[in-house]
Amino acid sequence: MVPGTVTRLTVKGAALETARSLWTSIPATVKRVVGPGDGAGRATFDVTVPATSVGRAAIRVVADAGLSNVRLVLLDALPGFDESRVGEDRVVSRAAAVDGTLEAAATDRFSIRLKKGQRLTVDAWARRLGSSLDPAIRLTGPDGSSLASADDSPGLAGDAMVSTVVPAAGLYTVAITDVSRRGGAGFFYRLRLGHFEPVAMAFPFRVRAGRASQLQLLGPRVAQTLSLVASTPVGMTWVGGPAGSGGGRSLLPVQVVAGDVLVEREPNGSRQQAMALPVGGRISGRFGETGDRDWYRISLKKGRKLQVVGNTASIGAAGRLYMRLVDAEGRTMVEVPPSVTTRTMLEHTTGSDRDAWLVVEELQRRGGPSFGYQLECRFAERGFSLSAASERLHAKPGGKVTLKVTATRRDFKGAIKLGVEGLGPDVELAGESIPSGKNETTMTITLPGGRKSGDLIGLKIIGEGLLEPPAEGVAVVERSSLEYNRGDLGKYEGFISDKKGGLNYAEYDVELPEAGEYLVLLKYAAMTARVAAMKLNGQTVNSGIMSKTTGSWDPKTAQWFNEGLVKFPQGKSVLRLEKNGVFSHLTTIRIARQAPRKKAPVKSIRASASVLNALRSGLGGMTFVPQELDGTLFLSVGK
């Protein structure tokens, strides 16, 4: 859709004969019009969005039959048209965006006439719009020679972009295909052909609402500043890079938040230059050059599990992170093993209040305008999160709907009471509790009186639970089983177990702030009992550990088991787990203080159900579903 003008939008699908309007995620004027071929499979709308709008938005069709799945669209100054409007010669006469769909094993080609020395930027949007297409693009010259190609361009969530200055005047051809040669109705794309300089990122990724902010626009040949006005509302906003002739520019997301924001400050390439990263904070950082290394100081608290979550691709940045935590002497306390994932988590539990230093690097030591990251620093908290199985419901006036809600528990075993916000206090619910020890329920919602056909209601599913103090007291040390200091047990995905016959063992160096009796807890999965032994500093302290079963070898079924009290000295010790022969699937080790005699008060905890997984299934399995669509579940009322 072109901002500031009327865009005629044609929607294809099913049961569209009663379509009345569009729901849009941004302010828009929508008018239902009659277009050629309208009927059950097609509906037409005239849509106008403000001239200042730019970036990605969401739409849904509102019909008597209910609310459609969500579809993502671009608000783009480049004039756009359907591929069916391109002539038989497949020539695009000017800078434009072509909307198309690929059939299986097909390649779409479009040509554009260029002058010598003119820049052409080809920006393929597919995965970022919820398409199943994994695009690969190629640019060839008038003589058929290949000038540029791309697949999975850095920071584009699986999409592709090339940009080049052409060496001679003539007709240049752009080809787009799916890397696996798949196709069908869900393999759609928007192919942007423009003369603009590409911008890789707008930095920082988060700015504070209520005050003017300065953004750095960074690209291979772009380094300029853009002002964001103080009145920009909280949520995701989009900004544009430098415009090219004929329209078109890079489109970049920026998160506007109500609270404080943190931005990396250079120089911070050593422990002495480290900037503070407070617990509860999020910081935007970037690797400005090859080999860049950033240091942050973190205050650890005795018995609290630190979690540092690093993201790259989900915020539109290139690269993968390598993180490690070091002490005042520069010794590595914990590191995150190299991984292909673009989301990295470092975890560590310390036995005393102390400062530590977080070292962050790009995994391959790359840097430049497209390499950035966001860090979230927090202490792990017991609780739960909720996920709804559907992101839209439909009911007749006074009718009932059902919804499956699933809980992911974090060291929380209690019951979860569910409620619905958006239907008033008189709403009737059934199955609105997830019992203790269970992870899901199917709740029934009965619409209260007064709701009529045509209503569209935004709902939130809220869960509440009572958080009992942990039976084992406060954890002093908690460590992944894979992080042993010495041993020969096999390391698998999320657990350790035997990989050979004979004696198998793992040793963990632990440090406790004071001498005393501590509980040792092990989290493991076992179909049958595989009893092992535990030693402390060379002495056997329990020869009957890991004697329980969980009904499966799957580490997802792992449970915590209390292996009893062990008397530890102050300072450093070596905890050894060993067994002759096969070994249970051990995931985590915890050393905790005994529970206090006087119980702490019960706390109430609360969470809102996410709909991201439900949205993902309708968006081609999209890896990074827009966070601004989360939290609201729509209920349409009709026939």
pLDDT, tens only, 575-588: 999 999 999 999 99
Please give the torsion angle defined by the CA atoms of residues 322, 327, 330 and 331, in that order, rounded to the nearest 10 degrees.
-80
In whole numbers, what is the pLDDT of the chain averaged over residues? Answer: 94
Number of neighbours of residue 348 by Cβ within 10 angstroms? 22
Residues 170 and 247 in one domain: no
CA geometry: angle at 360 spanning 357 and 362, to 5°?
165
Mean pLDDT, range 8-21, rounded to an integer: 93
| Cβ pair 521, 472 in contact under 8 A | yes
Predicted pLDDT at 337: 81
Residue 251 is part of which domain span?
A: 201-257
Q: What is the DSSP string of 263-301?
A: E--S---SGGGPEE--TT-EEEEE--STT-EEEEEEEE-
Please give the Cα distance from 496 to 489 (Å, whole number).
Answer: 6
Task: Give the domain-ending residue among 379, 398, 425.
Answer: 379
Mean pLDDT, range 545-551, rounded to an integer: 94
Residues 481 and 587 in one domain: yes
Residues 307 and 356 in one domain: yes
Residue 468 has pLDDT above 80, yes or no: no
Residue 514 has pLDDT above 90, yes or no: no
Residues 249 and 266 in one domain: no
In a domain, 502, yes or no: yes
Predicted pLDDT at 467: 87
| pLDDT bracket for residue 411 (50, 70, 90) | confident
Residues 341 and 288 in one domain: yes
| pLDDT bracket for residue 597 (50, 70, 90) | low
Residues 479 and 464 in one domain: no
| Cβ pair 16, 42 in contact under 8 A | yes
In a domain, 1, yes or no: no
Task: Give the domain-ending residue among 17, 48, 75.
Answer: 75
Give Cα separations from 291 to 29, 509, 623 (angstroms): 49, 31, 28
Residues 97 and 54 in one domain: no
Residue 596 has pLDDT above 80, yes or no: no
Looking at 48-52, 79-83, 204-208, 600-604, which range is the least confident one? 600-604
In a domain, 597, yes or no: no
Predicted pLDDT at 600: 66
| pLDDT bracket for residue 599 (50, 70, 90) | low
Residues 269 and 242 in one domain: no
| Cβ pair 476, 349 in contact under 8 A | yes
Residues 98 and 151 in one domain: yes
**Number of domains making up the chain:** 6
Residues 480 and 581 in one domain: yes
CATH assignment of the domain containing 324: 2.60.120.380
Percent of all residues in the chain with a pLDDT value above 90, rounded to a whole number: 88
Residues 375 and 388 in one domain: no
In a domain, 234, yes or no: yes
In a domain, 598, yes or no: no
Does pTM surpass 0.85?
no
In a domain, 599, yes or no: no
Mean pLDDT, range 600-625, rounded to an integer: 92
Task: Give the domain-ending residue among 379, 407, 439.
Answer: 379
Mean pLDDT, range 590-602, rounded to an integer: 78
CATH assignment of the domain containing 484: 2.60.120.260
| Cβ pair 2, 77 in contact under 8 A | yes
Task: Render pLDDT for 164-175 as a digit per residue (tens, 0 to 9).
Answer: 999 999 999 999
In a domain, 338, yes or no: yes
Task: Render pLDDT for 322-370 as a digit per residue (tens, 0 to 9).
Answer: 999 999 999 999 999 878 788 999 999 887 889 999 999 999 999 999 9
In a domain, 420, yes or no: yes
Residues 253 and 323 in one domain: no
Percent of all residues in the chain with a pLDDT value above 70, rounded to a whole number: 99
Residue 124 has pLDDT above 80, yes or no: yes
SS3 44: strand
